[in-house]
Amino acid sequence: METQRQRKISTVIQKDIADILQGSIRAEGVNNLIISVTKVAVTVDLSIARVYLSIFPSSNIDSIIEGVRSNKALIKHELAQRTRNQLRRVPDLEFFVDDSLDYIEKIDQSLKGTDNPILDPDLLDKRKKS
C-alpha cells in the first residue's frame, strides 16, 4: 500500500521528469517522437523511483530507453535542481518501458479481426509483471 508521502513524491517526480524529457527532445530538434511518463513508483524508503515511459512511435524503443538510461545522471541532476525546495534527497531513477498501450492496441486489433483472443487465448503474449 502506497503512503500519502510516496504519492506526493511520485507526482512531483512524474511531472518534472516529463518536463525534462520533453525539453531535451525539443532541444535536440526531434519532432516525430513523443515520450510520456505514465507512472512513477517510489519505494517505501524513498530511495528508488521506478519511472515508466510510454514512447511513440514504438519503432526504436530499445535505443531510446537506452539513451534515457545512459543520461540518468543528467536527468537526476536536473530533477534535483527543480525539486530542491520539495525533496531533501532525490531517489535513484530506474527507467522502464510501459507497453500497456501497445498491449491494449493489440487486444483491440485482435477483437476487430478474425483472430479472437477470447476464443483462442494463445494469440496474445503473456503480460510481464513489473
Question: Any idea what DSSP says for residue 7?
Answer: H
pLDDT 10s digits, 38-58: 999 999 999 999 999 998 887
pLDDT 10s digits, 11-29: 999 999 999 999 988 888 8
Using DSSP, state whether 87 is helix, strand or coil.
coil
| Enclosing domain of residue 24 | 4-98
What confidence tier does 121 reach under pLDDT thresholds 50, 70, 90? confident
Over residues 89-110, mean pLDDT:
84
Judgement on whether residues 22 and 38 belong to the same structural domain of the protein: yes
Judgement on whether residues 69 and 106 belong to the same structural domain of the protein: no
Judgement on whether residues 51 and 92 belong to the same structural domain of the protein: yes
pTM of the model: 0.77
CA atoms within 13 A on the CB side of 37: 23
Judgement on whether residues 24 and 61 belong to the same structural domain of the protein: yes
